[in-house]
Amino acid sequence: VKYEKEYEVQKMRYIQYYNAPIGLLGIVEEEGAITHITFGEETLQEAIKEGALQEKGTSLLQDAIRQLEAYFLGELEVFNLPLCPEGTPFMKEVWQALQAIPYGEIRSYKDIAEAVGRDKAYRAVGLANNRNPIPIIIPCHRVVGANGKLVGYAGGLDIKTHLLELEKQACH
């Protein structure tokens, strides 16, 4: 009698922390791609305790930190890292559109809705923007309200303001 059983393969996820000028960032890698950036230690401590997330400085995570350091010094405008954010197809479309916003520029939620071909979906764009798992690298901080006002940001409006000011200064 031949016995075969399938086992669930545990995907290993790694995190490395980076003490950025805006505070502590947690950068998460899974299967050779960046999947999350967190502000502070957020909720990942639970995943670390459960063993689903291991603190380790992989070469990809170290490269992500080097690129973030260059970004914060105003020396890097476009990140070159493999990304794999989890979300719905619409969310992924929005996140792709966010990556097309040039460094130092801003767009409204309406602009992004139009960019993804859904002119009236600016509220859904706002939700996708809010759920962006890889802030900074996927630059959701470059999206503002229709009137140019800063609205919500996962890291807080102070951090959003800091990132926009950093980019504005580096462009001049």
Express each pLDDT in 32-42 by its tens digit. Answer: 999 999 887 66
Give the pLDDT of residue 148. Answer: 74
CATH code for the part of the protein at 13-72:
3.30.160
Model confidence, pTM: 0.86
Contact status, residue 31 vs residue 11, Cβ threshold 8 Å: yes
Range 164-171 average pLDDT: 85
Question: Where would I find the beta strands (DSSP E) of the chain?
Answer: 13-20, 23-30, 33-39, 53-55, 107-108, 143-144
Mean residue pLDDT of the chain comes to 85
SS3 percent helix, strand, coil of the chain, rounded to 5, is 40, 20, 40
Give the pLDDT of residue 91. Answer: 94
Q: What is the DSSP letter of 101?
A: S
**What is the percent of the chain where pLDDT is above 70?**
84
Taking CA atoms, 103 is separated from 41, 58, 139, 150, in Å, by 27, 27, 9, 17
Q: How far apart are CA 168 and CA 160, in angstroms?
A: 12
Active-site pick, 140, 143, 164, 166:
140
Instruction: Locate the domains of the chain by residue range.
Output: 13-72, 89-171
Instruction: Assess if CATH 3.40.50.720 describes domain 89-171.
Output: no
pLDDT at 50 over 90: no
The label of the residue with tokens 């890292």 reads 81
Examine the residue annotation and report whether 140 is marked as an active-site residue of this protein. Answer: yes
Instruction: Output the DSSP codes for 115-152.
Output: HTT-TTTHHHHHHHHHT-SSBTTB-GGGEE-TTS----
Express each pLDDT in 53-108 by its tens digit. Answer: 777 888 999 999 999 999 999 999 999 999 999 999 999 999 999 999 999 999 99
Q: Model confidence at 156, in pLDDT bands (50, 70, 90)?
A: confident
The label of the residue with tokens 């996927």 reads 138
Give the count of beta carbons closer than 10 Å to the beta carbon of residue 43. 8
80-89, 91-100, 113-122, 147-156: which has the minimum mean pLDDT? 147-156
Q: How far apart are CA 149 and CA 19, in angstroms?
A: 28
